[in-house]
Amino acid sequence: MRQIRMFRFTALCALPQALSFFALAGAGAAICTRSAAAEQVAQFSTGGKVFVEQSPAGDWGIRVESPGMASVTVAQPMQLESYESETKIGSVAGGYKSIRKTDTGFLGEGNLVPVKGVVVHFSDQWSVSGSVLRLARKLAVSGSAPGGFFSAVTVSTARDVRFADVDLFAPGMIYGGPAYLLDQAPGGWPNYAAGRFEMREDGFPIPVLGVHFRDGSSIALLDCHPRGDTTTADSNDSDGLTMIDERFLFGGLGAHERAGGGIDVGFWLPGALGLQRSANRTARSARRLRFHPFRDGLSQQYEIALRVGRDESFHDYYATLWRWGWETLKPAVNYYDMTVVRTSLVHQLAGSVMTHNGRTGIPFALNAVTGGPSRLLRDNDAIMGFVGKNLEGAALLLADADLHPGAASEKNRQLAVAIMDTFTRQVKVSPPDSEGFNIDTGRPSITNPTGVFSGQVHLRAFTDDVRWMLKAYQREKSRGREHPEWLRWSMEFADWLVQQQRPDGSFPRSWRLGTGEALQTSSTSTYNAMAFLVAQFQAENRTGHQRFLDAAERAGDFCWLTYQAHDQYVGGTMDNPNIVDKEAGTLSLEGYLALYEATKNKKWLRHARSAADYAETWIYAWDVSMPVDADEATLHWKKGVSTIGVNKINSTGSGVDQWMAGDVDKYARLSVYTGDQHYLEVARILLHNTKNMVALPGRLYDLAGPGWQQEHWGMTTQRGMGSASRAWLPWATVNHLEGILALEDFDPALFRKVAAK
């Protein structure tokens, strides 16, 4: 049975009756400096040493002595927080009463009495391998009482360390500090300024939390065997209710500045949280305290690993830390027959194409359950780029028709050509007057997918999709099919775009419709231009096209030197401007790969690796279980379906999607260019596991038919775990097809290798 792991920032909960485990850890650190006895019990490969130390009171704690700033103490390894009522919450912690050497390390044992009539016995096996200290904990409860508890383990740094002195890493949430994070994000400024970061582990793509010190040393905690088991009541809790249930098997990870100095890093179970700002800015902040019951015979066990590092840059640190977590969790691949998957997706996409009065396009939104209208804004608008992806969808229908000729291929090819031709007629590009058009009326589409930023056109919308028109143009031309209007249209846009590039190499984020006036002047999303400009350079070998490659390189240098050398990948999604997100990483990866392939300059390959390392930290490498008591009929992510491979959407919320299904070929190409097989492992997960909630023949779930998938899901509390919008947007199919067809086009043999079981 998964056991209780505890840790809570009591100060966040504004409960003066409760002690703080972080405060207890700090006090324990002081006790260890006055040890009555100490003995070295292990040594790290990095040169650090592990000691057990006896306090004057006679109990035992642990001290890790490491080169640099990464020395820590676990002065009171046994920690519990007890809950009897909202006004009676207590904390108790202590050192082991006995220490015994074992074949693999040492065993610490002791008891805590959290409430009258209840004794909790700790049996903690510690071992060292390489640079990692592991704790395998077993807890046993004797006696019963009202209320509940959670348990924790906390490691404490030296007193002279604060958040401002370190870089924090929590995958998909914080990469150094609070820059480009919204206030309501777990790592946002209000929490960071208060010296706290905490999150349930079901919000972590890999449950690992790290602290990187300025001297290149580091520490990190990892849950080696995460479980996300929970209940519907917990999943739907938006009011911050306190709950006690032994079915809660999710943990929590956090870091906190001690009042007297130093940082405590801890892991606890269940994953109780202190005050968390709601993603809905008008809603009040809420506690979400979770406990296991004081029940006689309740047993708990879990394994936590502490990694101690040295001599690493922050980027190398978190990339290595992520791979350590990946190798520890060993994410399992769910293999699919890619012929069945591809055929289903192509049929679904082609079947969604609409034609009216000579205008052809893919509607912006449909209902994934019925296949009919979704009742979202701009249902029948055909949109470029981001989530609309009309031209990319058309290009992929053309690619599939060439790679897999058959009875339906010619019809699909005609639909694709009609989409391309319609856009070149309907949308002006110098300056752009819209991001698409309404299929029914022909009117320009002037509002972005969320209804905000009306009257703007975004850099990403055009560079995303016009690049795919250029790919389609080259494919068609190589087969003797000429489309001069496609090239003319893309060239007209490219010529306009290079005039918008600023002296430092950057581009604005958006412009006013039809005027070319920059509206969102932020330069954080300049990376969007790189791959498009390279594609325009490569479209035809003509004198004068070098200007496009030069502009792409200037944009690449700007992005790297200004932001990404500092691990700031910002502003990928059009509806969440200038926050840390995964699409900033994947779009940068595509841009740097395009520059490397065009120039063979290895600096672009190095930058591509950095972007890939960052982007993959948004991929779930473990299976988060759906609520055990949920009604399968109303649950969007179905029970028993692995969540390995879903991607966290941004650094603020708990939503996940399958966006990175479209990045299979990027990681595969990177593996070929670098010889790094890990990137091929990532490509395999993205090819197969992202299909886990795609409706396929014989497994339709509750969707409209084969090839359908809803747009996103919740993955932790506040949104309803496993539930979200039932809308289908074109990207949900297009990205899957891109991952399949782009890799097959790049290297058929490599595609077969990645696809094969």
What's the pLDDT at 559? Answer: 98
The burial class, CB within 10 Å (0-12 / 13-18 / 19+), for 725 is middle
Tell me the pLDDT of the chain averaged across its residues: 90
Our CA dihedral for 667, 669, 675, 676, rounded to 10 degrees, sits at 0
The three-state secondary structure class of 73 is: strand
Phi, psi of 574 (to 5 degrees): -70, -25
Give the pLDDT of residue 13: 31
CB within 8 A of 319, min separation 6: which ones? Answer: 613
Q: What's the pLDDT at 540?
A: 78
- For helices 731-746 and 748-755, the axis angle rounded to 10 degrees is 120
Nearest CA to 621 out of 660, 668, 650, 594 is that of 660
Model pLDDT for residues 508-558, shown as the tens digit of each residue: 999 999 999 999 999 999 999 999 999 999 997 666 789 999 999 999 999
What pLDDT is recorded for position 49?
93
State the pLDDT at residue 104: 86
Q: What is the Cα–Cα distance from 269 to 276, expressed in whole angstroms?
A: 18
Q: How confident is the model at residue 577, as a pLDDT?
A: 81
Task: Name the burial class of residue 30, with classes exposed (0-12), middle (13-18) and buried (19+) by CB atoms within 10 angstroms of its CB.
Answer: middle
Q: CA-CA distance, 624 to 250, in Å (whole number)?
A: 9
Closest CA to 637 of 691, 713, 583: 713
The per-residue pLDDT for 6 is 32
Identify each DSSP E strand in 502-603 by its residue range.
510-512
Q: What's the CA gap between 651 and 527, in Å, rounded?
A: 19
Q: Which residues of the chain have pLDDT under 70?
A: 1-36, 274-286, 376-378, 447-454, 541-543, 717-724
Query: Per 3-state DSSP, what percentage of the chain is helix, strand, and coil (rounded to 5)?
Result: 35, 25, 40
Structure tokens given for 617: 């930290």
Determine contact, residues 270/292, Cβ cutoff 8 Å.
Answer: yes
Query: Would you list the DSSP string of 642-672?
Result: --TT-EE-BSSS-EEE-GGGGGHHHHHHHHH
**What is the structure's pLDDT at 653?**
77
